[in-house]
Chain A
Amino acid sequence: MHNQKMFKKVFVKEFDQKKIYNEILENYSKKNQYFFKNLKWLLVPLGLTFILGYSLLNHDNINLQNFSAKYLSNTSKNNIYINKIEDQAILKLDVDAKIANELSLPSYFSLSSLVIPQNLTLTDTYALYTKKEMKGYSILNNYIIIYSNAQTNQSINISFSDKYKPLKDYYFLSDNTIPSVINNISLFIYNCNQTYFTEFTYNNINYDIETTNITLEDFINLIASLIT
């Protein structure tokens, strides 16, 4: 009995709840400090250009509990929540985009499964590379696929990677973000004017989608086609 208690004590000591709690808070503060301290290095495009702009929009968030779309599974849990963006920070990234063709896209991603509005066509596919230290752009961070229609000014950008989070040239400073659930997968949906954004991970692939002048239903159908 004594030894059993001592074994328990080993784990109580190593996984000390209070100690880990304090370390989390400490790391959170450090992370914030580190971020602000190194912000200039994170945002240096091609060496040293940094552009940061803010646009402020104040809207109320929208919860669409009974939202229906053709490709939303009826048997799965769905709850659409649109987070209106209050702050958006725009930045430029130090990356190199190389044109990729359909054939060079990775095998885990299939263009044919995507549900895209019929008036949009595939216009560009890129592979985005980042630098490894200062040794040139050698790390394939993510792919970008762009569907667009120049006449209607509509576009869909799908970024994805099985290794990294797709890079984007903006980030959100939104309060009270609430996750949506599409086909049982939890994700965050943002809206700013005519643009919808989302980012999520499904089957170990990180996705980042941005649409312009696309209806919410088409946007949800696109997401649902990736989360099958």
Chain B
Amino acid sequence: MINQETLKAFDKLYKETYQDIVKYVVCKCQNIADVKDITQNIYLAVLIKEDLTLFNKAYLLGIARNKINEYYRFNYKAKIISFFSSKNNLTLLDTIPDNFDLQDYLIKDQDLKAIWHFLKKKKAIISKIFYLYYYSGLSLKEIAEELNISESNVKNYLYRSLKELEIYLKERSDFDA
């Protein structure tokens, strides 16, 4: 059983660090669908320690790094597959409009699950970009720095995936109709 003092300290630590830890796990994971499990593992490892007042964000990030390694060591090895062939890497940044979006599709509440399903099936880098762009509100440049890829690749990934997603959602919508 957890005593009230520990629970209170855990509660505080969780609220203070949750966003940063999830962001870190998203950036380092091999599949966005693993983020929830890994995050739980990290905080469970913290919870079993008695004195939580000594934990801070830096220490938690250390635990996160170990837990991510542990998770993939015991679960599976990721296949490293390049999303674009080398010639596609050269797609011109200028050809993509700056404020791109799903062009003529308005996302509905019932699409949320389908979008998540779509992202889970995509390469990890794409779901990471979606998370950092739409959830964390990072710019393309910041995402490029965070994921150590070029800004044009970030833009390409995002633009292409949105196009694919638009087709996917339209097809679903037509099918449901």
User: In the complex, what residue of chain B is closest to A81 when comparing beta carbons?
Assistant: B54
Please provide the chain B residues from 34 to 76 with a CB less than 8 Å away from any CB of chain A in the complex. Answer: 35-36, 39-40, 43-44, 47-51, 54, 59, 62, 66, 69, 73
Q: Which residues of A contact B48 (CB under 8 A)?
A: 28
Interface residue? B124 (CB, 8 A): no
Interface size on B, residues (CB 8 A): 38
Interface string of B3-30 (1 = CB under 8 A from A): 0000000010010001000100000000
Interface residue? A98 (CB, 8 A): no
Decide: A6 and B112 in contact? CB cutoff 8 A.
yes
The residue that A15 contacts in the complex, of B22, B47, B101, with Cβ under 8 A, is B22
Interface residue? B2 (CB, 8 A): yes
Using C-beta atoms within 8 Å of the partner chain, give the interface range for chain A.
Answer: 20 to 34
Interface residue? B175 (CB, 8 A): no
Interface residue? A163 (CB, 8 A): yes
Interface-lining segment among B77-85, B87-95, B128-136, B149-157 = B128-136
Interface residue? B111 (CB, 8 A): yes
Decide: A24 and B66 in contact? CB cutoff 8 A.
no
User: In the complex, what residue of chain A is closest to B127 when comparing beta carbons?
Assistant: A11
| A2-B106, A14-B36, A20-B39 known; A176-B51 Cβ under 8 A | yes
Q: Which residues of B contact A175 (CB under 8 A)?
A: 50
Q: Which residues of B contact A21 (CB under 8 A)?
A: 11, 14
Q: Which residues of B contact A151 (CB under 8 A)?
A: none
Decide: B2 and A25 in contact? CB cutoff 8 A.
yes
Interface residue? B167 (CB, 8 A): no
How far apart sit A13 and B54, CA to CA, in the bound complex (Å)? 31
Q: Which residues of B contact A201 (CB under 8 A)?
A: 66
The smallest C-beta distance from B35 to any residue of chain A, in angstroms, reads: 7
Interface residue? B115 (CB, 8 A): yes
Interface residue? A228 (CB, 8 A): no
| A9-B112, A186-B59 known; A4-B51 Cβ under 8 A | no
Q: Which residues of A contact B107 (CB under 8 A)?
A: 2-3, 6-7
How far apart sit A3 and B40, CA to CA, in the bound complex (Å)? 29
Interface residue? A178 (CB, 8 A): yes
Q: Which residues of A contact B135 (CB under 8 A)?
A: 7-8, 11-12
Interface residue? A17 (CB, 8 A): yes
How far apart sit A10 and B130, CA to CA, in the bound complex (Å)? 10
Known: A3-B102, A20-B39. 14 other contacts (CB 8 A): A2-B106, A3-B106, A3-B107, A6-B111, A7-B135, A8-B134, A10-B115, A11-B135, A27-B44, A31-B44, A32-B1, A174-B50, A176-B51, A177-B50
